Amino acid sequence: MDQPAAIPDLCVVIPVLNERDNIAPLVSRLHAVLEATSWEVIFVDDDSTDGTRAAIAAVAATDGHVRLLHRIGRRGLSSAFIEGAQASLAPYVAAMDGDMQHDEALLPRMLATLRTGEAELVVGSRYVDGGGVGAWDRTRAGLSALATRLSQMVLKVRLADPMSGFFMLRRDIFDAAVRNLSAMGFKILLDIVASLPRPPAIRELPYTFRTREHGDSKMDAGVLRDYALLLADKLVGHVVPIRFVLFAGVGALGIVFHLLVLRACLLAGAEFPLAQGIATACAIVGNFVLNNIFTFRDRKLRGWGFLRGLVTFALICSVGAAGNIGVASFLFGPAHSAWWLAGLVGAAMSLVWNYAASSVITWRRG
């Protein structure tokens, strides 16, 4: 096959997770519609277990248009697109899913629209005249409509399909947004538009969402959770990181759990020091599990990493507790602060330490 130019005009970024059977057909379709364009495709694989990387390597062995970015310890379509776009120098960047539900035949028209200057961002839209959601059931269509309405809370421009994962933009528009991106979950288009310092010139082109042919859907409750966090981050993330808010919320639940276990142990006849030790251990384990599921879902620990993480989290919390006691004791004693202020400052110091240290050590990026 012909080789792409050193710096192609268009980079198509395709995040994948267990999409082995879609790789070769998808590349073949890209060749069919982009034959008149200098292009490359970057597959960003979040450590698939079904042979996806081998499938990409098999195609890339004879096709210079195909590149692979293999990520370990990180998950999420948004962050995958960001890393894929940053790995290319192409002046135009497109986002597509790896499940072949997006209509690749729209890519040349998207590129032509950007080149003429008619728009800075072109969106493949299911919600403009001529577009459609295909075989979606009523529940999924209703959730998508609700998410679209909620998105207007953070957007500065009207967009019929902000949930679309199929779009193309100029490199300078991506660069203008990238430092403000939340990189949470799956809705990277919404993230980009909400992160730009000014509303971009947008053109929406209709397409009909196709039915998945191979692999499994990635839609689950976690996607809804990530979307809610993205909206929250765009609303208040400039004041306090939304991940820190989640961490603090889990900590508050941990305090309640600690008191419940402590009370149960005392009712069972345990001495207070033993009961307090058991309650503390249970709270630490509970906090770690919840943070692993919710706060750091994109860096979720498994297997031996889970056990290592639990140990480091417990040690970090122990240091935080010691610092809490030390700071609070100093404020209450030599500094003569009110008991509640001393306790509050000590707890806040411990919270900040636990969050910062566990972010870097326990749930460090791969």
- Whole-angstrom Cα distance, residue 41 to residue 44? 10
Is residue 64 a contact partner of residue 27, using CB atoms and an 8 Å limit? no
Is residue 17 a contact partner of residue 48, using CB atoms and an 8 Å limit? yes
What are the residues whose beta carbons fall under 8 Å from the beta carbon of 311, sequence distance 6 or more? none
pLDDT of res. 29:
96
pLDDT of res. 137:
63
Is residue 123 a contact partner of residue 239, using CB atoms and an 8 Å limit? no
pLDDT confidence of 224, banded at 50, 70, 90?
Answer: low
Tokens of 46: 């979040």
**Short-list 86, 85, 106, CA closest to 95:** 85
pLDDT in tens, 294-347: 888 778 888 899 999 999 999 998 887 777 667 767 776 777 677 667 667 767
Which is higher by pLDDT, 271 or 12? Answer: 12
Instruction: Return the CA Rg of the chain.
Output: 24
DSSP 208: B
Beta bridge pairs of residue 132: 208
- Whether residue 1 is predicted with pLDDT greater than 60 in this model: the reply is no
SS3 label, residue 17: coil
pLDDT in tens, 67-118: 999 998 777 888 899 999 999 999 999 999 988 889 999 999 999 999 999 9
Which is higher by pLDDT, 134 or 167? Answer: 167
- Whether residue 5 is predicted with pLDDT greater than 70 in this model: the reply is no
pLDDT of res. 254:
84
> Which DSSP string corresponds to 39-102?
EEEEEEE---SSSHHHHHHHHHTT-TTEEEEE-SS---HHHHHHHHHHT---SEEEE--TTS-S
Distances (CA, A) of 152 to 88, 147, 332: 31, 9, 48
pLDDT in tens, 113-163: 999 999 999 999 988 888 887 666 667 667 766 776 766 766 778 888 888
| Backbone region of residue 289 per phi and psi (left: phi > 0; alpha: psi in -120 to 50; beta: other values) | alpha
- Whole-angstrom Cα distance, residue 218 to residue 15? 12
pLDDT confidence of 4, banded at 50, 70, 90?
Answer: low
pLDDT of res. 217:
52
- Whether residue 167 is predicted with pLDDT greater than 90 in this model: the reply is yes
pLDDT in tens, 22-76: 999 999 999 999 998 999 999 999 999 999 999 999 999 999 999 999 998 777 8
Q: Is the pTM of this model over 0.85?
A: no
pLDDT of res. 236:
65
